[in-house]
Amino acid sequence: MSAVLEIRGLRAGDDGVAVVRDLSLEVGAGEVVALLGPSGAGKTTTLLTVSQLLEPLGGEITFDGSSIVGKRPSTVARRGLAHVPEERGIFVSLTTRENLTVGVRGRRTDLDGIVDLFPALARLMDRQAGLLSGGEQQMLAIGRALVQDPTLLMVDELSLGLAPVIVDRLLPVLHQVAREREIAVLIVEQQVQAALRHADRAYVLNHGDLVASGTAAELVADDRLLASSYLGDIEAEGP
């Protein structure tokens, strides 16, 4: 499986203060990788740095075979990186249809494909996005990312503010699009067990350090690891 995203020795943070230290991870085409850890571990900082919304303090980020360090966020997006932020990033004053079509240039938007993935959006096309429920807004946010035909999809805190039953409907969609479209998917998620049910592999951060990594099955079997994801109570991995 070819690596779409490779991070090596990443140091990242804001105002020159490293929140993430010496992080290395990779995401391959067609797989879902979860980035886990307690609040404040550096997960969102990692995604923002990959998108170049934060300038890395050190290390290397390779996307689709070439370095993206120092590139403009818009350049990275045009190369095929789609980032669904924690706040979802939808245009609340526009309709669902307008959200899915705005900014898509030079080709027809595959609305049918998005509705196939999220049937609930079919009846919401003419509704203002700000009037949608939290789950509907998250479907729309992911749909907005997918109409860009990305090579890498990053989703930050998919479950934020959502009922577990909605999360269990959304996570399989990410697994489906990864397989069917050969997209590399990187998710940040607080609901550890839900994430591991649908991820292929996972990395766990604790206070900015990588403390564990492995297949989802390996991490599910490690009760100590799951506890650390919530509480941050294990030591970092050795070299």
pLDDT digits (tens, 9 = 90+) for 133-174: 999 999 999 999 999 999 999 999 988 888 888 888 899 999
- Residue 102: the pLDDT is 83
Report percent pLDDT > 70 for the chain: 90
pLDDT digits (tens, 9 = 90+) for 207-232: 899 988 999 999 988 777 666 555 54
Task: Give the C-alpha separation, 138 to 132, whole Å.
Answer: 9
Task: Give the C-alpha separation, 139 to 117, whole Å.
Answer: 9
Least confident of 77-86, 98-107, 204-213: 98-107
- Residue 192: the pLDDT is 86
Whether pTM > 0.85 for this model: the answer is yes
Least confident of 155-169, 180-194, 198-212: 155-169
pLDDT bin (cut points 50, 70, 90) of residue 205 is: very high
pLDDT bin (cut points 50, 70, 90) of residue 104 is: low
Q: 188 forms bridges with which residues in the sheet?
A: 35, 156
- Residue 193: the pLDDT is 86
> Does residue 152 or residue 194 have the better pLDDT?
152
Mean of pLDDT over the chain: 89
pLDDT greater than 50 at residue 236: no
Tokens of 112: 């049918």
- Residue 179: the pLDDT is 95
